[in-house]
Amino acid sequence: MQTIGIVGAGQMGSGIALVCATAGLNVILNDLDERTVERGIEGISSTLARMVSKGKTTSDEATGALARIKGCAVLTELVECDLAIEAATENVQVKEAVLRKLDAIVQPRAIIATNTSSVSVTRLGATLADPSRFIGMHFFNPVPVMALVEVIRGLQTSDATFDATIALAKRIGKSTICVKNSPGFVVNRILIPMINEAVFVLQEGLAGAAEIDEGMKLGANHPIGPLALADLIGLDTTLAIMNVLYRDFNEPKYRPAPLLKEMVDAGYLGRKSGQGFHTY
């Protein structure tokens, strides 16, 4: 593989673009909005500058990585990609629409992956004419820092697609776990309900947000508290994953906390909005 296409220039998409480019791959970063693409590339440039200042890369390497990233607002630019990663918002209908368009654009030899954090890979794959070339490739935020990629096989995913995806993940410096298709997969199946329970604890007034986070950091040796982590992930994304778990498992233990829903309704989405369970 030499060229990676990424649809979605937000936090996740731009992070994936950065790690691919620093590994020597050419990247085409796409989004519907040209300004979003520009912001994504600006964020990548800032991250590379920080890496240089901390001695994690050289100035020449950072310049080379940035030069390997091409931004565009037209999806047809991805026609020659060896692998296209959909990194759109965590919404089934949006993802299916993007995947249909990608399926009609990229070459038949290309792999198509989704960066979904909870949606069925089998269901998404069914939107493609050839679902054997489809796979889940779930990166974690922030992508340049987090070592893990969950590689999720849909029911239709071929061995060749799976093997090539594992090889790519290793090439860009990531560790992988192989996961069966199931709502939330492994990490979010465990993590997001824990965050949801922390919201219930806050909602019931057992402790404040700072106390809850401090308790889990010092009492469970977590590097970041669950409410601060929700702010980092985005409360809208956290709620979207809880909704998938609740809908697909149909079990009350996955019911989203009412306070989480109210925070999202208020536009308090965490770090990206400046206000979540903490203020930024």
Among the options 26, 86, 138, 181, which is catalytic?
138
Active site residue 278: no
**Annotated catalytic residue: which of 86, 90, 96, 150?**
150
- How many other CB atoms sit within 10 Å of the CB of residue 14? 28
67 and 26 in contact (C-beta within 8 Å)? no
Sheet holding 26-30, edge to edge: 69-72, 26-30, 3-7, 83-86, 111-114, 134-139, 148-153, 175-180
Eight-class DSSP state of 257: P
H or E stretch covering 61: helix 59-67
Single out the catalytic residue among 117, 118, 120, 196.
117
Report phi then psi at 118, rounded to 5: -160, -25
Q: Please state, in angstroms and as integers, the Cα–Cα distance from residue 50 to each residue in 35, 59, 146, 223, following that order.
A: 23, 10, 16, 22
Residue 115 is among the residues annotated as catalytic for this protein: no
DSSP string, 172-226: TT-EEEEEES-TTTTHHHHHHHHHHHHHHHHHTTSS-HHHHHHHHHHHS--SS-H
Is position 188 annotated as part of the catalytic site? yes
Question: Is 61 noted as a catalytic residue in this protein?
Answer: no
Q: Cβ of 139: how many Cβ atoms within 10 Å?
A: 23
Contact (Cβ atoms closer than 8 angstroms) between residue 167 and residue 223? no
**Active site residue: 118, 120, 188, 196, which one?**
188
Classify residue 75 as exposed, middle or buried by CB count within 10 Å of its CB (0-12, 13-18, 19+).
Answer: buried
Rounded Cα–Cα distance for residues 70 and 68 (Å): 7
Active site amino acids: 117, 138, 150, 188
